[in-house]
Amino acid sequence: MPQPPIEKLAIDTIRTLSIDAVQKANSGHPGAPMALAPVAYALWQNVLRYDPSEPTWPNRDRFVLSNGHASMLLYSVLHLTGVRQVDHEGRALDAPAVSLDDIKSFRQLGSRTPGHPEYRLTSGVESTTGPLGQGAANSVGMAIASRWLGARYNRPGLTLFDFDVYAILGDGCMMEGISSEAASLAGHLKLPNLCWLYDNNHISLDGKLALSFSEDVPERFEAYGWATTHVTDANDLAQLAKAFQFFKQQGRPTLIVVDSHIGYGSPKRQDTSAAHGEPLGEDQVRAAKQFYGWPEDAQFLVPDGVREHFQQGIGIRGRKLRQEWEATRERYRKEAPDLSRDLDLIDRFELPPGWDAELPVFPADPKGMATRESGGQVLNALAKRIPWLLGGAADLSGSTKVTIKGEPNLAAGEPGGRNIYYGVREHAMGAIVNGMVLSKLRAFGSTFLTFTDYMRAPIRLSSLMEIPAFHVMTHDSIGLGEDGPTHQPIEQLASLRAMPGLLVIRPGDANEVTECYRVVMESKHHPAILSLSRQALPTFDRTKYAPASGARKGAYVLAEAEGGKPEVLLMATGSEVRLIVEAHEKLKAEGIRARAISMPCWEIFEQQSPEYRESVLPSSVTARVAVEQAAMFGWKAYVGRTGKILGMKSFGASAPIKDLLPHFGFTTDHVVAAAKEQLGRKGP
């Protein structure tokens, strides 16, 4: 059906801004923005509860562009709707999130319009997307968060949280396994506030989709428990409006299949360069503009009336909704002051007073306990004081000890539950956690350390976004024993440490676990991996050795050499700290001055002053031994060219721990021998 002139003008402005930006950059994907412009228009202008003048309003609807290569679609919409830039405190500034100059600088150094949308960089971008399917799974976490916040904080007549979450997915998102995992869980939880828009265009970068993909997507989603509906032409605003109404009427997640056509957005015109993620070229740009009835020589044109049209739609509607919400929020402050203070803290990623008042201090114990056990105790102590701390495991809650005791499980009928059963869906778990943290909850996931390989993309994106997601990763070494090399992590610690901004934390005893959790909870911009043991570790006598609070600096002197003048430095993380402490005592008995250094988090240690780092690892002492049941990559930075590393050069083996450790050389005697070798002395 024909579109009213102003609607067509607005849609074609989205298209031509995208075309011009990609052409000027000589890089990017023009096809999807051209095809999806009517979908984005219909959603933002007529449906989305969103105030462009206050883009961080807590109850705004969320829009996630999972197929992030279509970024110019989002940038064009952010520009035309007048979304404001916000500062680091979340305050709206008198400046556009995306100016016309930003669009002209698409994909250029220092611009707010990178090739794929980036959270924090560009206001209005709810999540960093690009790796396909990540945004889709983030949207599930956001929908869970909306329901959770509503269940926990809404009161009769005082509804503060009921936002909906919309995500656009392409065929690539549908093919990635993470989307299937996330959709399955969303269907299981019957999330009624989640709507995915599937851009069904029958084309991928390799060519026609029939080369690789032929499944019936709606049938698949109906099997997940989703409602589905079909828009046969992306240009039909009336069909799109009916589809959005359909979503609002369902009590479960909804998939809207939208038939679109890469290129000019017309069933009759499908441009191959647009389909293959390349600029159109000047001739095709002219042809496209001619097809839209656009001035062929105009570049970055925003016709009179387009911005005003959006202000009359989403601008007025969003401002009214936000102001009504703020009035409710003020009433809430008076009627529920304690809960209101919680919400202020949540919004700022701050912790409640006394959040650490019940953190356990563990008595010295030669037998000790596994750090997964002490970790569970610390987590529960935190959960008592931080009501918005929630999470769970990928089918391993009993093994990783992350159940929050006395709290309900999150379920379709219990949206405010704090224990989340992700099922065997590690990849989706990581991205769902990100979505919840992007919604300001303190959320976590948990599995065995080796299975971080299944979730590297969401861990990486949490670091890129600088959000404080964290994961409890247990069974962190060959010490897990009989399960064997498939489950024994070797290279994971080194590869995670290589990720910029990620805190990789491997505490050496129960009290270090407590201190490391302090670091995790106080972090606002760094995600963290807590690497914990399956096997029991001794709890060190802190009257004899240094306080565990040293762990908060990433590395510290645990057992000092006689007179504070070491001849040899022994360093370790996690379960191997026991070995260097025992070696320290043996060497001391032989008159050798050894310093034992626990190094639970290299990243935090590197943030300390040069003076502190020198005090722990004095450069004058070159005799050094490092011990870690993992790949040795990275340790050279601490032991130097001549130091000794006792680590893993192979995968592990299936056997009881009592046989594994001596087989791979992780014994006190091996550490003592290595220290003597460093000092040029022979053992007995």
What's residue 326's pLDDT? Answer: 98
pLDDT tens by residue, 19-43? 999 999 999 989 999 999 999 999 9
Residue 20 has phi, psi (to 5 degrees) of -65, -40
Tokens for 277? 């993620």
pLDDT bracket for residue 271 (50, 70, 90) = very low
Strand order across the beta sheet in which 594-598 lies: 556-559, 594-598, 568-572, 624-631, 644-648
Answer whether residue 414 shows pLDDT above 70: yes
Q: What are phi and psi for residue 517, nearest 5 degrees?
A: -65, -35
pLDDT at 261: 79
CA distance 8 to 468: 42
pLDDT reported for residue 275: 47
Query: What is the strand order of the sheet 227-231 is part of?
Result: 62-65, 165-169, 194-200, 254-259, 227-231
Q: How confident is the model at residue 267 (pLDDT cuts 50, 70, 90)?
A: very low
Q: State the pairing for strand pair 165-169/207-208.
A: unpaired
Task: Map residue 571 onto helix, strand or coil.
Answer: strand
Name the architecture of domain 5-322: 3-Layer(aba) Sandwich (3.40)
Confidence of residue 277 (pLDDT cuts 50, 70, 90): low
pLDDT of the residue at 90 = 84
What are the φ/ψ torsions at residue 255 (nearest 5 degrees)?
-110, 120
Q: Where are the alpha helices (H) located in 250-336, listed in sequence order?
A: 272-275, 282-292, 306-310, 316-335
- Provide the pLDDT for residue 262: 67
Element spanning 661, H or E: helix 657-663
Mean pLDDT computed over 272-290: 78
Q: Quote the CA–CA distance of 1 and 235 in Å, as a whole number.
A: 9
Q: What is the pLDDT of residue 627?
A: 98
Per residue in 662-677, pLDDT (tens digit) is 999 999 999 999 999 9
pLDDT at 374: 98
End-to-end Cα distance, the chain: 92
| 272 pLDDT above the threshold of 60 | no
- Tens of pLDDT, residues 426-471: 999 999 999 999 999 999 999 999 999 999 999 999 999 999 999 9
Looking at residue 263, its pLDDT comes to 57
Give pLDDT tens digits for 138-195: 999 999 999 999 999 999 999 999 999 999 999 999 999 999 999 999 999 999 999 9
Summarize pLDDT for 568-595 with one digit per residue, the tens: 999 999 999 999 999 999 999 999 999 9
Residue whose token pair is 């934390």: 505
Q: Which amino acid is at 488?
A: Q
Residue 562 has pLDDT above 50, yes or no: yes
The residues spanned by each domain of the chain are 5-322, 365-538, 553-678
| Band of residue 680 on the pLDDT scale cut at 50, 70, 90 | very high
What is the pLDDT at residue 264? 55
Average of pLDDT values for 223-236?
97
How far from the centroid of its chain's Cα atoms is residue 518's Cα?
A: 20
Mean pLDDT across the chain, nearest whole number?
Answer: 95
Q: What pLDDT score was predicted for residue 468? A: 98
Tens digit of each residue's pLDDT (9 = 90 or more) over 114-152: 999 999 999 999 999 999 999 999 999 999 999 999 999
Q: What is the mean pLDDT of residues 214-218?
A: 94
- CA 213 from chain centre, in angstroms, equals 28
To the question of domain 365-538 being in CATH 3.40.190.290, the answer is no
Query: How confident is the model at residue 205, as a pLDDT?
Result: 83
Instruction: Please give the Cα distance from 162 to 154 (Å, whole number).
Output: 9
Please spell the DSSP secondary structure of 352-400, one letter per residue.
-TTTTTT---PPPEEEEEEHHHHHHHHHHHHHHH-TTEEEEESS-HHHH
Element (H, E) at 438: helix 426-438
Collapsed DSSP state (helix, strand, coil) of residue 203 = strand
Question: Shortest CA distance to 480 belongs to which of 532, 403, 517?
Answer: 532
Q: What is the pLDDT of residue 426?
A: 98
Strands 227-231 and 365-370: unpaired
For residues 123 and 228, what is the distance between their CA atoms, to the nearest angstrom?
A: 31
pLDDT at 684 over 90: no
Between the alpha carbon of residue 518 and those of residues 358, 439, 510, 534, 666, the distances in Å are 12, 22, 13, 21, 30
Order the strands of the 442-448 sheet from edge to edge.
Answer: 419-421, 389-393, 442-448, 470-474, 528-531, 503-505
Q: Are strands 92-96 and 84-86 parallel, antiparallel or unpaired?
A: antiparallel
Fold: same for 5-322 and 553-678: yes
Its CATH architecture, for the domain 553-678, is 3-Layer(aba) Sandwich (3.40)
Q: pLDDT tens digits for 440-449?
A: 999 999 999 9
Task: Look at residue 46 and tell me whether its pLDDT is greater than 50.
Answer: yes
Please, what sign has the CA dihedral across residues 226, 229, 233, 235?
negative
Structural contact between residues 35 and 261, judged by C-beta atoms closer than 8 angstroms: yes
Predicted pLDDT at 270: 46
Please identify every residue annotated as catalytic: 426
pLDDT for residue 618 is more than 60 = yes
